[in-house]
Amino acid sequence: GEDVEQSLFLSVREGDSSVINCTYTDSSSTYLYWYKQEPGAGLQLLTYIFSNMDMKQDQRLTVLLNKKDKHLSLRIADTQTGDSAIYFCAASGGSYIPTFGRGTSLIVHP
Amino acid sequence: EAQVTQNPRYLITVTGKKLTVTCSQNMNHEYMSWYRQDPGLGLRQIYYSMNVEVTDKGDVPEGYKVSRKEKRNFPLILESPSPNQTSLYFCASRGPGGELFFGEGSRLTVL
């Protein structure tokens, strides 16, 4: 089955860019998602990209997809303390049942 | 407001005492799922349901039961809880674009 890997921690300074990386194993994955989990809350969809796209930009967020390497990244420009959260990468194919990575804890310090 | 509602949000119980965590969604979604979240392990799927009366095991179903008698409700049942089921539980439903809508979570402690 699908396996999704991401690093567990990332620490950045406020105002810098953050880049969270994710790799997946199933080349037939069609939908790739980024979810954000703030402390004490459930996950919320942040953004997503279809496998026929290379890049998607939404305000401060940029998602890059390298389908050949099965690598997904999320870039947050001008990172703020409010961006501190756990970010989950998820991949799904035709069944629409996503497989989640373990989550990357983003810590933003002044 | 579109939402997924779980109850209880917090529960402390003892080994062997049956409990049910309820989940309800008001978006008319067909697909619903239960996850548990543990430090360092991320989200692991317990059970899912593609529609009413259709349920399937996820990655970690042992010790859990579910039912789907109505589209809006998907309760998680722990018949005989054990300490290794101490965890943070999330219910989710899936929208038409494949995105998941999560509840706020239920933190369960089994002593």
Average pLDDT, chain A: 93
- What pLDDT, on the 0 to 100 scale, is given for residue A95? 74
Q: pLDDT tens digits for B60-70?
A: 999 999 999 99
Q: Distance (Å, rounded) from C-alpha A70 to C-alpha A56?
A: 16
At residue B1, the pLDDT reads 85
Cα–Cα distance measured from residue B27 to residue B1, given in angstroms and rounded to the nearest whole number: 9
Q: What is the pLDDT of residue A17?
A: 97
Q: A79-92 burial string, b = 16+ CB within 10 Å, else e?
A: beeebbbbbbbbbb
Task: Mark the ranges of chain B whose per-residue pLDDT is less than 50.
Answer: none
How close A100 gets to chain B, by Cα (Å)? 6
Point out the residue among A40, A43, A97 whose CB comes nearest to the CB of B48.
Answer: A97
- Predicted confidence at residue B34, as pLDDT, reads 98
pLDDT over 80 at A92, yes or no: yes
What CA dihedral angle connects A36, B108, A102 and A10, to 10 degrees?
Answer: 60
pLDDT band at A94 (very low <50, low <70, confident <90, very high): confident
Q: Phi then psi for A95, rounded to 5 degrees?
A: -75, -10
Residue B22, min C-alpha distance to chain A (Å): 15
Chain B contact for A22 (CB, 8 A cutoff): no
pLDDT for A96 equals 75
